[in-house]
Amino acid sequence: METPHGTVETPVFCPVASQGTIKAMTPEEVQDLGGQAILSNTYHLYLRPGQETIRKHGGLHAFMNWSGAIITDSGGYQVFSLANLKKVRDDGVEFQSHIDGSRHTFTPELAVRVQEALGSDVMMVLDECPPYPCSPEQLREAVRRTTEWARRCKSARGSHDDSTRRLRNGVEGAARQTDQALFGIVQGGIDADLRRASAESLVEIGFDGYALGGLSVGEPKTAMLETVEATLPHLPIPSPRYLMGVGAPEDIIESIHRGIDIFDCIIPTRHARTGILYGHTGPVKIMHQRYREDSSPIDPGCGCYACRHFSRSYLRHLHAAKEILAARLGTIHNLHFYFSLLRESREAIRQGAWPAFRTRFLAAYDPSGG
């Protein structure tokens, strides 16, 4: 996937930097571990510090000193999951900030304007993310509204006067909205017919890539994978396919198998802070008593900084003592594991060895951990 900030090799995992930072990490550390792209969030950055503040600093890349690609979620999911007293109408969604209770209205046009000010490489359309479970009527209405909002987002793209300049890889240059890709978001819950209808409507409008939203929100994993499998044939190749918010290692492998290119999830960073550390045989729940005197690394054979220098026993001690270093080392390890898994997946695909790689990984990996 070619972006203004370089080529992104897929399949790719994007760690989440909702507020312009990957918690406990510097941008250079993330890139040194193998990070190619990150996900930031329009809702959070719109509320704090505000898109105009970021624009004045040259865009989000310059503001947070990240030279790789950035995807910005439109903020739709956060509006529906975090904000208070939502009022959804065809023109947009009115909500109260979860930070200070201030009132705002997100429209498709505003979602695009904010993302253009942020200067992300990939913008997402504003969508309505229905809860799981919900009624068929709610699902149909969410698909209808998401399609209409997607059409308005495409019309709004680059439609307003903006002569600002922003930094690209540290070099000042004229910003053009056409540099930013715009992805549509397929909705429809786990209803295969609604997913097909949503996908076909978005393809008719025409976008640079397509995302599957509204999954990993409580539905059974089998239903999620069946929905992915049923939806992807209705999306064009070679447009990138993005499965939003899905990030358990076994789900990534199974979704790659079905044709997904892009993933994002809070799992590796959030779980690092709560003591769940990932390895090739499954997650290690570091606070378990069995690790109290365990001198082995988190994941034997892992070459990350944490595994080269520290034991499970030490990591357990740091978490028990609530030391900041616990979050740092855990995040370094988890991101290294995720980036390595995706790199190994790309190599297996290139070599024509994907079926054997998938079988071997899933046979060794126990999602329940220990």
Decide the pairing of beta strands 122-124 and 165-168.
unpaired
200, containing H or E segment: helix 192-205
Greater confidence, 17 or 95? 17
Which of 121, 127, 261, 264 is catalytic? The answer is 264
Predicted confidence band at 170 (pLDDT cuts at 50, 70, 90)?
very low
pLDDT score of 161: 44
Which of 73, 127, 261, 299 is catalytic? The answer is 73
Q: Is 299 a catalytic residue?
A: no
As a whole number, the mean pLDDT across the chain is 93
pLDDT score of 160: 53
Q: Is 179 a catalytic residue?
A: no
CA-to-CA distance for 41 and 262, rounded, in angstroms? Answer: 16
**DSSP structure string for 30-55:** HHHHT--EEEEEHHHHHHTT-HHHHH
CA-to-CA distance for 141 and 146, rounded, in angstroms? Answer: 8
CA-to-CA distance for 6 and 57, rounded, in angstroms? Answer: 21
pLDDT, tens digit, 9 for 90 and up, residues 224-251: 999 999 999 999 999 999 999 999 999 9
| Cβ-based neighbours of 193, under 8 Å, separated by 6 or more | none
Highest mean pLDDT among 95-99, 111-115, 164-168 belongs to 111-115
Predicted confidence band at 176 (pLDDT cuts at 50, 70, 90)?
very low
